Amino acid sequence: MKKMLKNKKGFSLIELLIVIAIMGVLAVIAFSMFSGVVSNSRKKADSTQAGNIQKALVAYMVDTGDAYLENLRYTDPSTEITDTNADEGEAIKTDDTWAEVVIALQRKQKVGDDVFEPFLNPKNGATPSSRDFKVQWTGHYGYKIEVFPERMNATVEPAKTAEDNKIILPERPE
């Protein structure tokens, strides 16, 4: 019995260091895989958000018949738009960014004598804002919005460069 107790040894310092090194390598691999998953999910969230904006914009164009976005207006988000002043505010222009389109789609719109309810709901049910619709991934610079009036359609996709963060809206032919 005494012989068995004498032969019992613990781990050496070298063995412990090797185990710790292996665990460190596994942790680095797991962390890099996890960060890739987070990055991909943010890219996917931006694409999904672009699809939501696109659906709201196309619904606006089809419901109102305003293919050139001449009646799409945005105002100060702190101002309440009523049926009587729904046509106030500035119209969307080609030098505006996606944020103005998103804010305008969250407000009542007046086209002719008809007043249309918002086509895009604020996420928190609060005042219209572009804050909840901003891009999540650091490689995106907003949204590129391209309008095709002759087809009553539009495309919205995450902008891959700062120059792509714009609205492409052709002018109405004379």
- Quick one: pLDDT at residue 45? 92
Q: Does pTM surpass 0.75?
A: no
**12 versus 91: which is more confidently predicted?**
12
Mean pLDDT of 127-156: 89
Count, residues in the chain: 174
Mean pLDDT of 69-89: 58
Q: Which range is least confidently modeled, 2-16, 40-54, 120-134? A: 2-16
C-alpha–C-alpha distance, residues 170 and 173, integer Å: 9
Residue 38: pLDDT over 70: yes
- Quick one: pLDDT at residue 71? 86
